[in-house]
Structure 1
Amino acid sequence: MTVPNFITIFRFLLVPVVILALLSDDKEWALVCFVVAGVSDGVDGFIARHFNQRSTLGAYLDPMADKLLLVSVFVVLGFMGELPLWLVVMAVSRDALIVCAVLLSTIMGNPVTVKPLFVSKANTAAQIVLAIVVLAELAFAESFGPTRFLLVWLCAVLTVGSAAAYLVQWLRHMGRDEQAGH
C-alpha cells in the first residue's frame, strides 16, 4: 500500500458523503467534498509519479474511484432534474459498455488493455467541470448563464466520440485475435 493508494481509498469514502450531502439538500458540503475528491485525485497522481509510488493496485483503483464518483454524482443530479436524463444514461452506458467489453475479452481469453485515449480524458475533464458547475450553481443559488447548457452538449459529443473510439479499438483488438486463429 502506497500513500497514493490511501488517498484514492479516501476518494472512495468521499463518494457516499457527496451523495448523502446532495440528497440531504446540503449542496455546499457536496460541492466542497467533490472538489476535495478532485484535488485528491491530482495529489495522488503527483505523488505516484514524482516519488516513484506507482503501483498496479493504484492503476486500477484510481480510475475506479474517479468513475464511481462521477457516475454517482451524475445519476443523483439526473434524478434531481439538474442534468438531462439522456446525458446521464449516455454517460453511464458508455462506462458500462467499456467494462463489459473488457470483461468479455478477458472471458474469451483475449484480454484487452484499456489505455485512456485523449478523447476519453477530455470527456472525463468535461464531466468533472459540468459536475462542478452544477454543484456550484446549486450551492450558491446562482446561474452561470449558458455554461451548463454548453457543457452538457460538450459532454454528449465527447461521450459519443469516446465510446466510438474505444469500440473501434476493441473491435480491432478482437479482430486480431480472430485472425490469429484463437
Structure 2
Amino acid sequence: MNLPNKITIARIALIPIFMVFMLVPLPLGEIETSAGMFPVSHLIGFVLFVIAASTDWLDGYYARKLELVTNFGKFLDPLADKLLVTAALLSLIEIEMLPAWMAIVILSREFAVTGIRLVAASSGEVIAASGLGKWKTVFQMTALSVLLFYNLPFELWGIPAGMALMWIAVLLTIVSGVDYFMKNKHIFKHSM
C-alpha cells in the first residue's frame, strides 16, 4: 500500500475517535469564551476533525507529486471524505448546531454518488472526483470546521459564518450532484 492510501486510511481511523470526543460526555471540563462555554472534549474533537480534513489535501498532494494515483485511492479518498463529513454532520445535529435538513441534503447526494460509483466499479470504471465536487468538499470541510469550533471567532462579532458557509456547501452539494449525474448518465444506460 502506498503512502497516499495510508494517509487516507489514517483519516478513516480518526473518525471514531473524533466522534467519541464529540458525542460521549467526557469529564474534561469546559472552556469559557466571550461567546459562551463549550466542552473541552469538543475542542479536542474539532482539532481531530481539522487534522483528518487536512489529510485529504495531503494524500492528494503526495499521490500527484509521487505519481502514486491508484484506482484504490480514487475510490477510497472520496469515501473517507464522505465518512468524515457524515460523522461531523451527525455530531453537529446531536449538539444542536445544525438543522437536520441540511445534513439530509448533503448525505442524500453523497449516498447517490457513491451508488453511481459502485455501479461504475462493477463494470471496471472508476470515476474520480470532479472540480465542482472538490469545491463542494472544501466548503463542507470549512463550514463544518467553523461550526465545530462554535463559530469562533466570528461569534464574537455576531457573524454567522459557519451557517453562511454551510449554505454555500449545501448549494454546491446540489449543483455538483446534478453535474455528476449528468456527466455519468451513460452508467445508467449500460447498467439497465
**TM-score of the pair, normalised by structure 2:** 0.79
Count of aligned pairs: 175
| Aligned residue runs from structure 1 range 38-57, under 5 A | 38-57=53-72
Change (3 A) 1:46 1:112: closer
Q: Which residue in the other structure is 1:18 paired with?
A: 18
In 2, distance between residues paired with 1:171 and 1:56? Answer: 21
Q: Which residue in the other structure is 1:159 paired with?
A: 173
Structure 2: 5+ residue runs without aligned partners?
25-38
Give the aligned residue type for 1:8: T
In 1, distance between residues paired with 2:150 and 2:65? Answer: 35
Measured after TM superposition, the shift of residue 17 of structure 1 is 0.9
Among all aligned residue pairs of Structure 1 and Structure 2, give the percentage whose two residues are the same amino acid.
27
Q: Which residue in the other structure is 1:122 paired with?
A: 135
Q: Which residue in the other structure is 2:87 paired with?
A: 72
Q: Which residue in the other structure is 2:31 paired with?
A: none
Change (3 A) 1:28 1:45: same
Structure with the bigger percentage of strand = 2
Q: Is the 8 A contact 2:136 2:173 kept in 1?
A: yes
| Aligned residue runs from structure 1 range 1-182, under 5 A | 1-24=1-24, 25=39, 26-104=41-119, 113-137=126-150, 143=155, 145-175=159-189, 177=190
Measured after TM superposition, the shift of residue 118 of structure 1 is 2.2
Change (3 A) 1:155 1:5: same
Tell me the secondary structure at the aligned position of residue 137 of structure 1.
Answer: coil
Structure 1: 5+ residue runs without aligned partners?
none
Q: Is the 8 A contact 1:102 1:111 kept in 2?
A: no
Q: RMSD of the TM alignment (CA)?
A: 2.4
In 2, distance between residues paired with 1:83 and 1:158? Answer: 17
